[in-house]
A and B are shown apart, each in its own frame.
Chain A
């Protein structure tokens, strides 16, 4: 029996592609944000509303990640924003190589901002860097207020937490969700995280999110 030291990096291929993506995005001064959440939290609705309402201020492109179908890409296409769909065929997260390929099919030089809508999953996507400038985690109130405590990694790594579907909180006794608990739990892991409670359906609170986006796009275009 013999033991051999190897010290070889696994998944280094993903890191290499993530680095390539950073170079491409920096060259074009395009901000890239990686959106992560459970399925059904409202990522696509947030994106379509954001694209429509910021149309005159920010040029946005989207990379859509889904296990199957191009249902989400169709919704984005309806806003006229450029979109590339990636189907992962069962894989639970996007890889940097897939994003690299998708970037080549977007008119990056015309875009201020690219959203990557990751596969709906609160765990796996957080382990794969794609070359983005920041992660946006979306949590809808119907999922429960214990999520930052139960899935800490993604809340610790994200720049922004969007608490979506707050319109459901207005209907009393419909959903038990303590926003303050979520904010406190998320800040315990990540003091600097920006938190915006919004409703992508009614538009409540969404201006705060837009202001943050506009500010961040300005910063990255310098």
Chain B
């Protein structure tokens, strides 16, 4: 449900860019780390709902999820992980730290 807050922030960022150019945006590409726990369907639905009657009505969102980054505490290797049994690909250690999540970025707008 936190997708609603993300949708509101997105809408205002895209609307600002659209207002500068005075053209209607038709698509936008965003990216975020997996730890943001963004569900594509929920985010698109929330965005569609709040974009109604604005310059962003009908805009198609494309969401790229960046993998979770970890650093091995034994051999210092950084690696991408999923949550189904993460371990270091180099030394197989299961002792790692989570690195900061990739930011939530509005990458590109299509007009």
Q: Chain B contacts of A127 at CB under 8 A? A: 2, 35-38
Stretch at the interface among A6-14, A52-60, A198-206: A6-14
B9 shortest CB reach to chain A, Å: 5
Check if B111 sits within 8 Å of A92, measured CB to CB.
Answer: no
Chain A residues 149 to 177 lying within 8 A of chain B, measured CB to CB, are: 152-153, 156-157
B7 shortest CB reach to chain A, Å: 10
Given A6-B106, A8-B106, A10-B106, residue A188 in contact with residue B86 (CB < 8 A): yes
Distance of A11 Cα from B38 Cα, bound (Å): 13
Chain A residues 118 to 168 lying within 8 A of chain B, measured CB to CB, are: 121, 123-124, 126-128, 152-153, 156-157
Given A10-B106, A11-B6, residue A4 in contact with residue B35 (CB < 8 A): no
Q: Chain B contacts of A123 at CB under 8 A? A: 2, 37
Q: Which of B2, B9, B97, B103 has the most CB of A within 10 A?
A: B2
Report the nearest B residue to A12, measured CB to CB.
B103
Which label, helix, strand, loop or mixed, suits the secondary structure of the A interface? mixed
Check if B109 sits within 8 Å of A189, measured CB to CB.
Answer: no
The residue that B30 contacts in the complex, of A10, A156, A189, A190, with Cβ under 8 A, is A10
Give the bracket for the number of chain A residues in contact with chain B: 20 to 34
A184 shortest CB reach to chain B, Å: 11
Check if A9 sits within 8 Å of B35, measured CB to CB.
Answer: no
Distance of A10 Cα from B21 Cα, bound (Å): 20
The residue that B111 contacts in the complex, of A2, A156, A191, with Cβ under 8 A, is A2
The residue that B109 contacts in the complex, of A3, A128, A152, A188, with Cβ under 8 A, is A3
Q: Chain A contacts of B21 at CB under 8 A? A: 4
Distance of A164 Cα from B66 Cα, bound (Å): 34
The residue that B108 contacts in the complex, of A3, A12, A124, with Cβ under 8 A, is A3
Check if B104 sits within 8 Å of A126, measured CB to CB.
Answer: no
**Which residues does B use to contact A, with CB under 8 Å?**
1-2, 5-6, 9-10, 13, 17, 21, 26, 30, 35-38, 68, 73, 83, 85-86, 94-98, 103-111
